A and B are shown apart, each in its own frame.
Chain A
Amino acid sequence: MRALVIDDSRAMRRIVGSILKSFGYEVREAGDGQQALDALHAGKAEGWVPDLCCIDWNMPVMDGLQFVMATRANPDFRQVTLMMVTTESETGQIVKALAAGAHEYLIKPFTADAMRDKLALLGLLPEEVSA
């Protein structure tokens, strides 16, 4: 499994990345939505398309919602699962993200178990971890 962790906080990228690595994921990082789009295109060119993107909402340059819309608009990345991982917890924002094409929503702070539950719901938990 491959994941792209998109967050402007290095600390949060490290935290999310280490949880995903503990589940067996190969992880790459991006510091904002534009960097993430660039990483998706560069990854596709080398045959590295993530199964999952974990996306913060509030980021400079391009925010998480804009990234979701841009990714959903590109048929090359239709199979990528998009999960918002953010402090934004107002119902209206959750609805907006899901309507834009995000598949799941995880509110910070979260535990590794909460991340595991979300991945299990999405069918993105490797068998050896879910067993």
Chain B
Amino acid sequence: MTLQEAPPITALLDPATVQSIADEIWPTLVGDGEAFVPVPVAPPAEVVSAWVTISGPWNGAVVLTCAPATAEALAESVLMTRPPTVVDDEDVADALGELANVLGGNIKSVLPGPSSLGLPQIGSAPTTGRLDDVCRVNGQWRGQSLTITVQGATEALHPSGTEVPQ
């Protein structure tokens, strides 16, 4: 199936499914009692994104976007760090990348398969293509803006990201 023939993500997935996947992931990965709340707040001026690609009958990426400070707080929560321990940039990239990876893997499981998942990348989010090939949930975590976007592939799916360092 070519990119042109693939059905758009809006024909395969709805925001409620993305939210239900996030509902399962947040308490187990981010921490007990933590939730991704699907109520949008003002978007931050500066953002960072982590994403994984999905290749198969549908091609695209699952992108998690938030402010750098939110990414740092997420990393602290995922890694269960407590002061005086601080997370470094690699910890933040790793934790945000793993969140995108688990989101991507679970979203892949509800899409037509077989598909393969790429390794997590972090940087400026890939550009989106067709408007109907984007499924986005704008929400918040601990009052800070967080967006989950499932977007179809364009010609250059990961133009500015770097693989999350090992």
Contact = CB atoms under 8 A, between A and B. Distances in A.
A58 B115 contact: no
Contacts of B102: 87, 108-109
A111 interface: yes
A87 B105 contact: yes
B105 A86 contact: yes
B91 A10 contact: yes
A24 to B, nearest CB: 19
Interface string B82-125: 00000000110011011001101110110001110111100000
A12 interface: yes
Interface residues of A, number: 24
Nearest to A9: B98
A18 B31 CA distance: 14
Interface string A91-113: 01100000000000000111100
B113 A11 contact: no
Contact of B119 (A58, A86, A90): A58
A8 B117 contact: no
B117 A58 contact: yes
Nearest to A89: B109
Q: Chain A's interface: helix, strand, loop or mixed, by majority?
A: loop
B113 A92 contact: yes
A89 B94 contact: no
Contacts of A21: none
Contact of B79 (A11, A89, A110): A11
Contacts of B24: 109
Contacts of A60: 119, 163, 166
Contact of A11 (B91, B108, B109, B117): B91
A87 B119 CA distance: 12
A51 interface: no
Contacts of B98: 9, 11-12
B56 to A, nearest CB: 10
Contacts of A9: 94-95, 97-98, 101, 120, 164
A31 interface: yes
B91 A88 contact: no
Contacts of A87: 101-102, 104-106, 108, 117
A14 interface: yes
A88 B105 contact: yes
